[in-house]
Amino acid sequence: MEKIHTSNAPEAIGPYSQAIKVGNMVFTSGQIALTPNGEFLDSDIKTQTKQVCENLKAVLEASGAKIENVVKTTIFLSDINDFAAVNEVYGEYFSHKPARSTVAVKELPKAAKVEIECVAIIE
Protein backbone atom coordinates (compact mmCIF):
# COMPACT_ATOMS: atom_id res chain seq x y z
CA MET A 1 0.00 0.00 0.00
CA GLU A 2 1.38 3.39 -1.02
CA LYS A 3 0.10 6.80 0.06
CA ILE A 4 -0.11 9.22 -2.85
CA HIS A 5 0.63 12.91 -2.39
CA THR A 6 1.10 15.76 -4.84
CA SER A 7 1.41 19.51 -4.41
CA ASN A 8 -0.54 19.85 -7.68
CA ALA A 9 -3.75 19.12 -5.75
CA PRO A 10 -5.02 20.49 -2.44
CA GLU A 11 -3.79 19.03 0.84
CA ALA A 12 -6.27 16.75 2.58
CA ILE A 13 -8.45 18.71 5.01
CA GLY A 14 -8.59 15.83 7.47
CA PRO A 15 -6.70 12.72 8.56
CA TYR A 16 -6.63 10.99 5.16
CA SER A 17 -4.49 10.69 2.03
CA GLN A 18 -5.14 12.22 -1.38
CA ALA A 19 -5.11 8.65 -2.70
CA ILE A 20 -3.92 5.15 -1.90
CA LYS A 21 -2.28 2.86 -4.44
CA VAL A 22 -2.58 -0.89 -3.93
CA GLY A 23 -0.90 -2.93 -6.66
CA ASN A 24 -2.19 -1.52 -9.92
CA MET A 25 -5.29 0.05 -8.34
CA VAL A 26 -5.64 3.67 -7.22
CA PHE A 27 -8.36 4.85 -4.84
CA THR A 28 -8.72 8.62 -4.58
CA SER A 29 -10.25 10.48 -1.70
CA GLY A 30 -13.13 12.76 -2.55
CA GLN A 31 -12.10 16.06 -4.09
CA ILE A 32 -13.95 19.34 -3.70
CA ALA A 33 -13.32 22.70 -5.37
CA LEU A 34 -10.13 23.59 -3.53
CA THR A 35 -7.22 24.91 -5.55
CA PRO A 36 -3.78 23.35 -5.00
CA ASN A 37 -2.96 26.24 -2.63
CA GLY A 38 -6.07 25.50 -0.55
CA GLU A 39 -8.35 28.30 -1.75
CA PHE A 40 -12.00 27.23 -1.96
CA LEU A 41 -13.74 28.23 -5.19
CA ASP A 42 -17.13 29.28 -3.88
CA SER A 43 -18.56 29.63 -7.36
CA ASP A 44 -21.02 28.09 -9.78
CA ILE A 45 -21.38 24.32 -10.13
CA LYS A 46 -19.54 24.10 -13.47
CA THR A 47 -16.49 25.95 -12.13
CA GLN A 48 -16.47 23.78 -9.02
CA THR A 49 -16.79 20.59 -11.07
CA LYS A 50 -13.91 21.62 -13.33
CA GLN A 51 -11.64 22.24 -10.32
CA VAL A 52 -12.64 18.90 -8.80
CA CYS A 53 -11.76 17.11 -12.05
CA GLU A 54 -8.42 18.94 -12.30
CA ASN A 55 -7.64 17.87 -8.73
CA LEU A 56 -8.49 14.25 -9.52
CA LYS A 57 -6.35 14.40 -12.66
CA ALA A 58 -3.36 15.67 -10.64
CA VAL A 59 -3.73 13.02 -7.93
CA LEU A 60 -4.11 10.26 -10.52
CA GLU A 61 -1.02 11.45 -12.41
CA ALA A 62 0.96 11.45 -9.14
CA SER A 63 0.04 7.78 -8.75
CA GLY A 64 1.10 6.86 -12.28
CA ALA A 65 -2.47 6.67 -13.57
CA LYS A 66 -4.33 8.82 -16.07
CA ILE A 67 -7.91 9.99 -15.99
CA GLU A 68 -8.55 7.52 -18.83
CA ASN A 69 -7.64 4.72 -16.37
CA VAL A 70 -10.60 5.53 -14.13
CA VAL A 71 -13.04 2.62 -13.92
CA LYS A 72 -15.48 3.99 -11.31
CA THR A 73 -16.49 7.37 -9.95
CA THR A 74 -18.81 8.45 -7.20
CA ILE A 75 -20.27 11.95 -7.32
CA PHE A 76 -21.81 13.62 -4.30
CA LEU A 77 -24.09 16.61 -4.97
CA SER A 78 -25.52 18.99 -2.40
CA ASP A 79 -28.30 19.79 -4.91
CA ILE A 80 -29.47 17.07 -7.31
CA ASN A 81 -30.73 19.84 -9.61
CA ASP A 82 -27.05 20.39 -10.53
CA PHE A 83 -26.93 16.90 -12.12
CA ALA A 84 -27.11 18.10 -15.75
CA ALA A 85 -24.55 20.89 -15.29
CA VAL A 86 -22.11 18.49 -13.60
CA ASN A 87 -22.58 16.02 -16.46
CA GLU A 88 -21.56 18.68 -18.99
CA VAL A 89 -18.17 19.23 -17.34
CA TYR A 90 -17.74 15.62 -16.22
CA GLY A 91 -18.16 14.41 -19.81
CA GLU A 92 -15.21 16.55 -20.92
CA TYR A 93 -12.92 14.64 -18.53
CA PHE A 94 -14.49 11.18 -18.49
CA SER A 95 -15.38 10.66 -22.15
CA HIS A 96 -14.55 6.95 -21.77
CA LYS A 97 -17.65 6.65 -19.53
CA PRO A 98 -16.48 4.76 -16.44
CA ALA A 99 -19.04 3.20 -14.10
CA ARG A 100 -20.56 5.87 -11.87
CA SER A 101 -22.87 6.54 -8.97
CA THR A 102 -24.31 9.95 -8.14
CA VAL A 103 -25.65 10.61 -4.66
CA ALA A 104 -27.53 13.65 -3.38
CA VAL A 105 -26.35 14.58 0.09
CA LYS A 106 -27.48 17.13 2.64
CA GLU A 107 -24.15 18.92 2.90
CA LEU A 108 -20.49 18.71 1.81
CA PRO A 109 -17.31 20.05 3.45
CA LYS A 110 -16.79 23.81 3.09
CA ALA A 111 -20.34 24.06 1.67
CA ALA A 112 -19.08 22.62 -1.63
CA LYS A 113 -21.66 21.84 -4.28
CA VAL A 114 -19.90 18.75 -5.64
CA GLU A 115 -17.41 16.13 -4.49
CA ILE A 116 -16.02 13.33 -6.65
CA GLU A 117 -13.94 10.27 -5.79
CA CYS A 118 -12.68 7.60 -8.15
CA VAL A 119 -11.00 4.25 -8.62
CA ALA A 120 -8.45 3.72 -11.39
CA ILE A 121 -6.46 0.78 -12.68
CA ILE A 122 -2.93 1.37 -13.96
CA GLU A 123 -2.36 -0.69 -17.09
pLDDT value at residue 42: 87
pTM score of the predicted model = 0.96
The torsion angles phi and psi of 18, rounded to 5 degrees, stand at: -60, -35
Give me the residues of the chain with pLDDT under 50, please.
none
pLDDT value at residue 86: 98
Q: Please state, for a pLDDT cut of 70, what percent of the chain lies above it.
A: 100
CATH number of 2-121: 3.30.1330.40
* C-alpha distance from residue 7 to each of 15, 55, 99, 110, 119 (Å): 17, 10, 28, 20, 20
Pairwise CA distance, residues 18 & 3, whole Å = 8
